[in-house]
Structure 1
Amino acid sequence: MSAPERIRRATHDDAEAILAVKRALALPADAREAPRGGFLLGASLEGYRALIDAADVWVLNDTSGAVAGFAVLLPEAVLRASELWTRREAIQWDAPGGWVLPEDRVCYFDQLAILPEARMRAPELALTALRGAVRGGHEHLFATVVAHPVQNTASLALLRALGARRVGSVDEAYEGVGRIVSDLYYAPIGGADTRLAETTRAGRRAVR
């Protein structure tokens, strides 16, 4: 990896570049299929600055030093204080038999965004965020993936490599897009970094 091409913690100086990546991956209202590299909903410049202050936000620099992707993970305290947590009653649970909803040490993988030309780095970026969550004492990860009106397949390979399983869905409305149905996934992440590294290698093979 060359010097400028690295994964690092985001700062306020990265907020505009992060928003530019988000805009490049926006979902058009009339989309019939997901853009290559996936897509993101919502968020604003002020919103990303707030996330950088409160959550775990990582950026991926390309060889020129420009931001080519980012990851946002909400630690438990931030998740419980978020608007997302207040909407948890809207979840339609459809968990496999025997699965028990964890009560603590939970975190939420809010966003993983990679420009198409850098998508092979997605597993490394995800691993960095996941390692931070594990070292912070988290054992349970949740993530949502848009399933309607189009399916956002960009993160599915990584979630499956992590052993995530679908446990429910959320039906919401987004301005400029309309009705959105997202599948809710759960994965246990407690354990050694080596297991996460193996997950990342599997995820890298899956996105090729």
Structure 2
Amino acid sequence: MGHRVRAALPHDVERLCEIRTSRALQPEDAANGSAPRGGFLLGASEATYEAYVAAGCVNVLVGGDPGHVVAFSVVLPDEAVRSSSIYARRHQSDLAPEVIAWLESQRVAYFDQLVAEAGLEGVSARLAYLHLIEAFERHDAVLATTVIAPVENRAALPFLIATGFEAIGSIDESYPVIGELRSKIHVLTKHRFSEVRASSRAERFERWLRRSESRLSPDLFPAVMS
């Protein structure tokens, strides 16, 4: 039985926290500048995941074992981005003023998290691709960040490159326990994503979509099913 994509439900939160904990960045890794194999997650609290699920921001990948969540993605909508602390500090980043002005004029989503059980990172990229399609139904651009110091998280870079994201700057962040971090900011526009979807770069994702239509909810992914 293949993997199935659906929106996260309240009873999934415990499982989301389990996966988060298994892939969390440890303080010693940050101190040593060593990234765990397969990347890491800065994560969120249980209460935050509950709020994200209630707001429809989380999609999950369910494995062959009925109901067993093996990966999840979090994409925050424009209204959540505008009220976030990182957006409030946008002028403290090294983004060019014209880039900030452009972002302020667009409806922008934020690809906050993508994480999977160890060994399933490749499969989780399909989940991420679907979430991008969903995000672009209501947004003009999608932002993502990747940690570059004191430890570099390169796990998401192949996916970001394959789908057309471009690095546009960096910003300092602070997380409990871990401390100070610097993250690179990436952006993908709706127009660029449409170009990528029509090119050979996205062929493997599009081929998977065509094979998997029976496992995708038309309510969750109307653009895929149309």
Contact kept, 8 Å, 1:127 with 1:197, in 2: the verdict is: no
Residues 112-145 of structure 1, C-alpha deviations (whole Å, 9 max, x = no match): 1112221121221011111111222x12111000
Q: Quickly say closer, same or farther: Cα 1:98–1:90, change in 2 above 3 A.
A: closer
Query: Equivalent residue of 1:120, what SS?
Result: helix
Structure 2 CA distance for aligned equivalents of residues 155 and 169 of structure 1 = 16
The aligned counterpart of 1:115 is 117
Amino acid at match of 1:67: V
Contact kept, 8 Å, 1:59 with 1:67, in 2: the verdict is: yes
Establish whether residue 177 from structure 1 lines up as the match of residue 149 from structure 2: no
Matches within 5 A, 1:150-165: 150-165=151-166
Establish whether residue 25 from structure 1 lines up as the match of residue 23 from structure 2: yes
Structure 1 CA distance for aligned equivalents of residues 4 and 89 of structure 2 = 35
Structure 1 CA distance for aligned equivalents of residues 185 and 39 of structure 2 = 17
Q: Quickly say closer, same or farther: Cα 1:193–1:121, change in 2 above 3 A.
A: farther
Amino acid at match of 2:76: L
The aligned counterpart of 2:224 is none
Matches within 5 A, 1:18-57: 18-31=16-29, 32-57=33-58
Query: CA offset at residue 200 of structure 1?
Result: 4.5
Q: Quickly say closer, same or farther: Cα 1:49–1:171, change in 2 above 3 A.
A: same
Structure 2 CA distance for aligned equivalents of residues 194 and 173 of structure 1 = 33
Structure 1 CA distance for aligned equivalents of residues 199 and 5 of structure 2 = 15
Q: Quickly say closer, same or farther: Cα 1:113–1:120, change in 2 above 3 A.
A: same
Structure 2 CA distance for aligned equivalents of residues 46 and 70 of structure 1 = 16
Residues 145-203 of structure 1, C-alpha deviations (whole Å, 9 max, x = no match): 00111111111111111221111111122221122111001111346498179555468
Structure 2 CA distance for aligned equivalents of residues 24 and 106 of structure 1 = 30
Q: Quickly say closer, same or farther: Cα 1:123–1:42, change in 2 above 3 A.
A: closer
Residues 81-105 of structure 1, C-alpha deviations (whole Å, 9 max, x = no match): 333322323322269x999733112
Unmatched runs of 5 consecutive residues or more in structure 2: 207-226
Of all paired residues, the percent bearing the same amino acid is 32
The answer to which of 126-135 and 189-198 deviates more is 189-198
Query: CA offset at residue 68 of structure 1?
Result: 1.2
Unmatched runs of 5 consecutive residues or more in structure 1: none
Aligned-residue RMSD, C-alpha: 2.7
The aligned counterpart of 1:145 is 146
Mark the structure with the bigger radius of gyration. Answer: 2
| Shift >3 Å, 4+ stretches | 97-100, 190-194, 196-204
The aligned counterpart of 2:135 is 133
Amino acid at match of 2:150: P
Amino acid at match of 2:58: V
Amino acid at match of 2:190: I
Q: Quickly say closer, same or farther: Cα 1:29–1:83, change in 2 above 3 A.
A: same
Count of residue pairs the alignment pairs up: 200
The aligned counterpart of 2:88 is 86
Contact kept, 8 Å, 1:55 with 1:78, in 2: the verdict is: no
Amino acid at match of 1:183: K
Structure 2 CA distance for aligned equivalents of residues 184 and 29 of structure 1 = 23
Amino acid at match of 2:6: R
TM-score, length-scaled by structure 1: 0.84
Establish whether residue 7 from structure 1 lines up as the match of residue 9 from structure 2: no
Structure 2 CA distance for aligned equivalents of residues 55 and 80 of structure 1 = 17
